[in-house]
């Protein structure tokens, strides 16, 4: 048998190494799960992939996901793993399932159901609940195998309810004793391998019965106590999401104080809101000032609008809250579509649709001037001349009729797209500015969450296709810039310095990409969650191979069956040879 120097060689590809440097042609040799050599003319490998004419990049590191439940029952963390992602960080936005006392199981499930749109039956059937403490939860994950690596954050809502019970769920102030307990648990979680701690301060996050998240108005003393517990452990990052209300300047100043006092790196979600379309500039300037003063802060931004998908097969559609639609909502899709196509039924529906009530009412469900048709090759930066309202006016019909006609396409599976963040001015120019800032990293893909309303786990593919190749409505980035953003930059943001670059000694987490053929397909619905639960999935063409720890996990978008992914416990140092450079 031949004695191969390498287990795997990616032969003759265009290497985009994650550093931001210009692409170069080289072979990449892999041995024992690590990158062993990069250069021309490498010796043969036991396995080879012809990467000629293809990009070879580090695996993408997605630091804002919600696979906390899925990781306990599924080995494949898709949709992320189908978009070149090889490492994810979950437990964002303060929601998760540990620590948790048995009597609080349903409470945390309802919170996740409301905040992240994962149905109650899916979670109650899927979660094994073989843990109570956060270290126990990590131990449970440690026994499992995945198609990508994962790291977990300690979620504030679970922590608060664990320590304070009903008082915590009802958002009552924490006592000094409560804070001391939370700090001790945070320290123990970091020492056990939590990558960080997350919290939510936004009214967008509610339980399934409409109550605000338990962490909404947690005091600075509580957050400081937890952060100081992390300081005592000497580990962990802080992740926050906020409405920045009522005083944006004070809110972000508090974030800075948390990072200053604890010395722990902090990031928060930053997006353009239609309610205050210029606020992001002030918040980003504040981060810049903090970084210049030596405070470790980042803003997590995203490269396309955060948008809700509406359709007959999804959680919501523009007529969901009408009594006429509710009368057929329980029917199979084909029967609902047939009813919607009936002229008499449609007349009753349209007569009622303007007076909808409910959590969304008509403000979002029928925002025709900010709603778009999502086609087979989805365009996330359509001009305002393509809104449902504008298209309907051009055709001389009501927008409601156009919306129904589109939803009835594809056998009743047509989808509408309502961007509610990052699109206040009808373009992604603010996203371009945020992505290009030195103190930001890509985030907010929410992979594993919002399974019936949002499908943003495909962000990494959009970053490459839209921002380096396809954008026509403004400036673009180079391929090497975008690859750096979602490999080395994101890895460094959470302290995973053993990945994110194509350098000898680092983990062999890699992608081989047919850049010219890279194509994002329209979202589709799959019924593959526990209890037959529904979720949105989105596929892409062009990923020739994805490699995790030296093993090929996907070929041409299809899983190979290899499951080299593991729980990552805490930050990782760079190899000694690299650290000395």
In a domain, 342, yes or no: yes
Q: So what's the pLDDT on residue 575?
A: 86
Beta strands in 292-425 (DSSP E): 297-301, 306-310, 372-374, 415-421
Element counts in the chain: helices (H) and strands (E): 21, 24
Q: So what's the pLDDT on residue 207?
A: 84
Distance from C-alpha of 171 to C-alpha of 156, rounded to nearest angstrom = 12
* Domain edge (last residue) among 388, 403, 421: 421
CB 121 within 8 A of CB 533: yes
Distance from C-alpha of 204 to C-alpha of 421, rounded to nearest angstrom = 12
CATH of the domain at 230: 3.20.20.140
CB 573 within 8 A of CB 98: no
pTM (predicted TM-score): 0.96
545 and 488 fall within a common domain: no
- State the DSSP code for 104: G
DSSP 512-536: EE-GGG-EEPPPEEEEEEGGGEEEE
96 and 234 fall within a common domain: yes
By residue range, what is the domain housing residue 551?
A: 6-58+506-518+539-579
* Domain edge (last residue) among 387, 421, 455: 421
pLDDT of 366-422, one tens digit each?
A: 999 999 999 999 999 999 999 999 999 999 999 999 999 999 999 999 999 999 999
514 and 374 fall within a common domain: no
Q: So what's the pLDDT on residue 2?
A: 57
Other CB atoms within a 10 A radius of the CB of residue 397 amount to 12
153 and 35 fall within a common domain: no
- State the DSSP code for 466: I
Question: Nearest 5 degrees, angle CA 469-CA 269-CA 368?
Answer: 65
323 and 248 fall within a common domain: no
pLDDT of 297-326, one tens digit each?
A: 999 999 999 999 999 999 999 999 999 999
359 and 270 fall within a common domain: no
Q: So what's the pLDDT on residue 198?
A: 98
In a domain, 498, yes or no: no
In a domain, 313, yes or no: yes
- Strand-pairing partners, residue 87, are 61, 149
CB 115 within 8 A of CB 93: yes
323 and 195 fall within a common domain: no
In a domain, 499, yes or no: no
Distance from C-alpha of 487 to C-alpha of 441, rounded to nearest angstrom = 10
Q: So what's the pLDDT on residue 108?
A: 93
- Distance from chain centroid for Cα 435: 16
In a domain, 501, yes or no: no
Crossing angle of helices 220-233/248-262, nearest 10°? 30
199 and 138 fall within a common domain: yes
334 and 477 fall within a common domain: no
Dihedral sign from CA coordinates of 484, 490, 493, 498 = negative
Give the chain's domain count.
Answer: 3
In a domain, 528, yes or no: no
Q: So what's the pLDDT on residue 451?
A: 85
Cis peptide before 246 (omega within 30 of 0): yes
Q: Per-residue confidence of the chain (581 residues) as pLDDT tens digits? A: 456 799 999 999 999 999 999 999 999 999 999 999 999 999 999 999 999 999 999 999 999 999 999 999 999 999 999 999 999 999 999 999 999 999 999 999 998 988 888 889 999 999 999 999 999 999 999 999 999 999 999 999 999 999 999 999 999 999 999 999 999 999 999 999 999 999 999 988 888 888 899 999 999 999 999 999 999 999 999 999 999 999 999 999 999 999 999 999 999 999 999 999 999 999 999 999 999 999 999 999 999 999 999 999 999 999 999 999 999 999 999 999 999 999 999 999 998 876 555 444 457 899 999 999 999 999 999 999 999 999 999 999 999 999 999 999 999 999 999 999 999 999 999 999 999 999 999 999 999 888 889 999 999 999 999 999 999 999 999 999 999 999 999 999 999 999 999 999 999 999 999 999 999 999 999 999 999 999 999 999 999 999 999 999 999 999 999 999 999 999 999 987 554 33
333 and 353 fall within a common domain: yes
CATH of the domain at 36: 2.30.40.10
CB 446 within 8 A of CB 309: no
Give 551's contacts (C-beta < 8 A, 6+ positions apart): 33, 560, 562, 564
68 and 51 fall within a common domain: no
* Domain edge (last residue) among 421, 438, 454: 421
Distance from C-alpha of 91 to C-alpha of 63, rounded to nearest angstrom = 10
In a domain, 523, yes or no: no
Q: Are strands 440-442 and 297-301 parallel, antiparallel or unpaired?
A: parallel
254 and 356 fall within a common domain: no
Q: So what's the pLDDT on residue 208?
A: 81
In a domain, 533, yes or no: no
CB 354 within 8 A of CB 394: no
Q: So what's the pLDDT on residue 209?
A: 80
Q: So what's the pLDDT on residue 359?
A: 47
């Amino acid at each position: 048998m031949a004695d191969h120097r390498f287990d795997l060689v990616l032969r003759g590809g265009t290497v985009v190494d994650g550093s931001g440097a210009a692409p170069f042609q080289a072979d990449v040799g892999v041995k024992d799960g690590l990158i062993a050599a990069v250069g021309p003319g490498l010796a043969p490998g036991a396995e080879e992939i012809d990467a000629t004419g293809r990009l070879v990049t580090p695996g993408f590191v997605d630091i804002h996901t919600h696979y906390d439940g899925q990781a306990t029952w599924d080995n494949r963390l898709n949709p992320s793993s189908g978009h070149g992602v090889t490492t994810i960080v979950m437990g964002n936005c303060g929601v998760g399932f540990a620590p948790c006392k048995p009597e609080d199981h349903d409470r945390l499930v309802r919170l996740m159901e409301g905040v992240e749109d994962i149905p109650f039956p899916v979670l109650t059937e899927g979660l094994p609940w073989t843990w109570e403490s956060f270290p126990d939860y990590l131990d449970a994950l440690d026994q499992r195998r995945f198609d990508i690596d994962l790291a977990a954050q300690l979620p504030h809502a679970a922590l608060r309810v664990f320590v304070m019970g009903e008082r915590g769920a009802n958002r009552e102030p924490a006592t000094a004793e409560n804070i001391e307990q939370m700090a001790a648990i945070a320290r123990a979680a970091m020492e056990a391998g939590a990558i960080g701690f997350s919290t939510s301060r936004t009214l967008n996050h509610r339980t399934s019965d409409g109550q605000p998240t338990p962490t909404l108005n947690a005091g600075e003393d509580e957050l400081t106590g937890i952060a100081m517990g992390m300081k005592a452990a000497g580990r962990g990052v802080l992740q926050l999401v906020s409405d920045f209300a009522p005083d944006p300047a004070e809110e972000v100043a508090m974030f800075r104080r948390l990072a200053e006092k604890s010395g722990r790196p902090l990031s928060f979600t930053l997006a353009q809101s239609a309610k205050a379309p210029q606020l992001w500039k002030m918040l980003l300037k504040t981060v810049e000032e903090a970084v210049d003063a030596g405070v470790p802060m980042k803003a997590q931004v995203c490269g396309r609008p955060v948008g809700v998908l509406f359709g007959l097969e999804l959680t919501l559609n523009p007529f969901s809250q009408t009594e006429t639609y509710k009368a057929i909502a329980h029917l199979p899709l084909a029967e609902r579509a047939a009813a919607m196509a009936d002229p008499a039924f449609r007349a009753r529906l349209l007569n009622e649709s303007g007076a909808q009530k409910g959590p969304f009412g008509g403000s979002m469900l029928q925002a025709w001037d900010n709603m778009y048709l999502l086609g087979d090759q989805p365009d996330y930066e359509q001009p305002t001349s393509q809104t449902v309202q504008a298209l309907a006016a051009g055709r001389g019909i009501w927008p409601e009729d156009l919306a129904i006609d589109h939803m009835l396409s594809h056998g009743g599976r047509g989808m509408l797209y309502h961007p509610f963040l990052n699109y206040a001015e009808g373009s992604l120019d603010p996203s371009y500015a945020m992505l290009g800032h030195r103190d930001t990293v890509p985030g907010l893909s929410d992979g594993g969450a919002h399974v019936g309303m949002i499908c943003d786990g495909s962000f990494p593919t959009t970053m490459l296709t839209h921002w380096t190749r396809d954008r026509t409505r403004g400036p673009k980035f180079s391929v090497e810039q975008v690859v750096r953003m979602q490999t080395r930059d994101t890895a460094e943001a959470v302290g995973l310095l053993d990945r994110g670059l194509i350098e000898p000694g680092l983990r062999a987490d890699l992608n081989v990409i047919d850049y010219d053929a890279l194509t994002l397909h329209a979202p589709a619905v799959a019924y593959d969650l526990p209890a037959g639960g529904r979720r949105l999935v989105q596929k892409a063409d062009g990923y020739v191979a994805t490699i995790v720890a030296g093993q090929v996990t996907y070929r041409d978008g299809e899983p190979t069956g290899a499951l080299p992914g593991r729980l990552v416990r805490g930050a990782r140092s760079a190899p000694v040879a690299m650290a000395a450079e």
